[in-house]
Amino acid sequence: MSNGFAQLQAQFLRLRSNKLFEGFVISVIVLSALVVGAKTYDNVSRFEHILVVLDAAVTLFFLVEIAIRMAAEPRFRDFFKSGWNIFDLVIVLASIIPIDSTDTVLIARLLRVFRALRLVSMIPELRVLLNALVVAIPRMGYVALLMFIIFYIYAAVGSFVFEGVDDFLWGNISLAMLTLFRIATFEDWTDVMYDTMELYPYSWIYYVTFIFLTAFIFLNMMIGIVLEVMQSESEKFKAENGEDPAQEQQALQQELVRMREQLNRVEALLQEQSRKA
DSSP labels, 93-134: HHTTS-SSSTTTHHHHHHHHHGGGGHHHHH-HHHHHHHHHHH
Final residue of a structural domain among 62, 87, 122: 122
- Domain shared by 152 and 254, yes or no: no
pLDDT tens for 234-243 read: 777 777 666 5
Same-domain pairing of 106 and 144 = no
Q: Where are the beta strands (DSSP E) in 140-268?
A: none
Residue 96 and residue 6 share a domain: yes
Residues 135 and 232 in one domain: yes
CB 66 within 8 A of CB 89: yes
Q: Dump pLDDT digits (tens) for 146-168.
A: 999 999 999 999 999 888 888 88
Sign of torsion, CA 202 203 206 208? negative
- What are the backbone dihedrals phi and psi of residue 77, each rounded to the nearest 5 degrees, phi first? -70, -15
| Reported confidence tier of residue 84, pLDDT bands at 50, 70, 90 | confident
What CATH number does the domain containing 55 carry?
Answer: 1.20.120.350
- Please say whether the beta carbons of 52 and 46 come within 8 A: no
In this structure, are residues 29 and 116 in contact, taking their beta carbons and an 8 Å threshold?
yes
Residue that finishes a domain, picked among 106, 122, 138? 122
| Cβ-based burial of 222 (10 A; exposed 0-12, middle 13-18, buried ≥19) | middle
Lowest pLDDT segment from 115-124, 139-148, 172-181, 216-225: 115-124
Residue 191 clears pLDDT 80, i.e. is over it = yes
Higher pLDDT, 211 or 268: 211
pLDDT computed for residue 1 by the predictor: 47
Tell me: do 207 and 105 sit in the same domain. no
What does the pLDDT read at residue 245?
52
Residue 277: predicted pLDDT: 47
Range of the domain at 153: 130-237
Average pLDDT on 53-62 reads 83
**Higher-pLDDT residue of 89, 2:** 89
Q: What is the pTM of this model?
A: 0.59
The whole-number pLDDT of residue 179 equals: 92
Residue 126 has a pLDDT of 79
- Shared domain check, 116 and 167: no
Q: What is the spatial distance between Cα 189 and Cα 172, in angstroms, rounded to a whole number?
A: 18
Residues 229 and 141 reside in one and the same domain: yes
Total domains in the chain come to: 3
In this structure, what are the phi and psi dihedrals at residue 165, rounded to the nearest 5 degrees? Answer: -80, -50
Strands (E), 76-222: none
Mean pLDDT value across the chain: 79
Please check the confidence at residue 102 and state whether its pLDDT lies above 60.
Answer: no
Predicted local distance difference test score (pLDDT) of residue 242: 60
Q: How far apart are CA 77 and CA 82, in angstroms?
A: 10
Which pLDDT value is given to residue 275? Answer: 60
